[in-house]
Amino acid sequence: MVDFWISILEQGLIFGVMVLGVYITYKILDFPDLSVDGSFPLGAAITAQSLSLGINPFIALFLSFLVGMVSGAITGFLHVKYKITNLLSGILVMIGLYSVNLRIMGKANMPLFNKTTIFSNNIKPIFIIVIITFIMKLLLDLFLKTKFGFLVKATGDNPKLVTSLGINIGITKIAALMISNGLVALSGSMMAQYQRFSDVGMGRGIIVMGLASIIFGQSIFKGTSFILPTTMALFGSLLYKTSTAFALKLGFPPTDLKLITSVIVIIALAINNKKFSFKGKKLFNIGGGRRVRNSESV
């Protein structure tokens, strides 16, 4: 039973790093970035290939983060430069990454059983995971308190304000997508090292898991204003992992988990949208002062 809980904690915190990334795009930037379904296995693929080349596993983490950032930059570039909608930009990158990931690994999956990973030492995996996850969370919290972090928050809130401050919102969007996808790829790297293999399909549904976790996190801390949203995201991830673990215990086959996750997200969104209208879609349109949109066509 203790093992059961520890493994939930371990997996929940590894996914938590991904949830932090999804939180940046979905919640802060108001940019539903589907490319994370590709950048998660991208991190895993980079890691698998690095480890089999004998590269230090911590450097593999770092490489995954960097390559994830590149992927986020591409999604942002498509959206900002070519005015492709945020959804489609993400989908295009996600699809493209499938082939890229296959190329990186050379095959659909790579076992890492006899490779040196970040867990190949005497320290319990849970400690390593806790340390990495908390460092990422603290760095993100710090970032969001900086001047540039303020701009990222304001970009999701009111892009006009950012423009009026003399800042190109394209830059803040791309930067936020880079950080987000870097975190997601890092999470993918940790997962590959944890389960000791990388599979090209391991990213399927990551975005929905991320959303489910964010929604879980928000609902447990409803009404409290002193808990940081990043903390909520991590707790949400743990809660999500717990609930899926129990679903498995109840006898659902693992193949049903994605359906269960989708249904959870649908229910949560349905309840949420009934209560208050969606962020960003304000129903304002009085007389003049029309808002000019130039980035919302496909």
Ligand X SMILES: Nc1ncnc2c1ncn2[C@@H]1O[C@H](COP(=O)(O)OP(=O)(O)OP(=O)(O)O)[C@@H](O)[C@H]1O
Q: Which residues bind other proteins (CB under 8 A)?
A: 143, 145-151, 153-154, 157-158, 160-161, 163-169, 282, 284, 286-292
Nearer residue to other proteins within complex by CB, 82 or 284: 284
Q: Could you tell me the smallest distance in angstroms from the CB atom of residue 294 to ligand X?
A: 9
Distance CA 149, CA 205 (A): 28
- What is the H or E stretch that residue 5 is in? helix 2-22
Reported as half-sphere exposure (CB side, CA atoms, 13 A), residue 143 has a value of: 18
Distance CA 173, CA 150 (A): 12
Q: Could you tell me the smallest distance in angstroms from the CB atom of residue 288 to ligand X?
A: 2
Q: Which one of ligand X, Mg ion, other proteins, none interacts with residue 223, CB within 5 to 8 A by kind?
A: none
Nearer residue to ligand X within complex by CB, 222 or 282: 282
Q: Could you tell me the smallest distance in angstroms from the CB atom of residue 290 to Mg ion?
A: 7
Q: Could you tell me the smallest distance in angstroms from the CB atom of residue 8 to other proteins?
A: 32
Distance CA 274, CA 150 (A): 30
Backbone angles phi, psi at 217, to 5 degrees: -60, -40
Distance CA 191, CA 123 (A): 17
Residue with the CB atom nearest Mg ion in the bound state: 288
Q: Residues in contact with ligand X, total (CB under 6 A)?
A: 4
Window 273 to 292, contacts with ligand X (CB under 6 A): 287-288, 290, 292
| CA dihedral of residues 118, 124, 126, 132 (deg, nearest 10) | -40
Chain residues binding Mg ion by CB under 5 A are 288
Nearer residue to other proteins within complex by CB, 146 or 273: 146
Nearer residue to ligand X within complex by CB, 146 or 163: 163
Q: Yes or no: say if 169 and 162 are a contact pair by the CB < 8 Å rule.
A: yes
Three-state DSSP state, 197: strand
Q: Could you tell me the smallest distance in angstroms from the CB atom of residue 293 to ligand X?
A: 8
Q: Yes or no: say if 29 and 76 are a contact pair by the CB < 8 Å rule.
A: no
> How buried is residue 223: exposed, middle or buried, by Cβ count under 10 Å (0-12/13-18/19+)?
exposed
Q: Could you tell me the smallest distance in angstroms from the CB atom of residue 168 to ligand X?
A: 21
Q: Which one of Mg ion, other proteins, ligand X, none interacts with residue 291, CB within 5 to 8 A by kind?
A: other proteins
Q: What letter represents residue 108's amino acid?
A: A
Q: Could you tell me the smallest distance in angstroms from the CB atom of residue 160 to ligand X?
A: 15
Nearer residue to other proteins within complex by CB, 164 or 273: 164
Nearer residue to ligand X within complex by CB, 156 or 159: 159
Report which of 56, 32, 67 is spatially closest to residue 188, judged by C-alpha positions. 67
Q: Hey, what are 57's tokens?
A: 């596993």
Nearer residue to ligand X within complex by CB, 253 or 287: 287
Residues that bind ligand X (CB under 6 A): 287-288, 290, 292
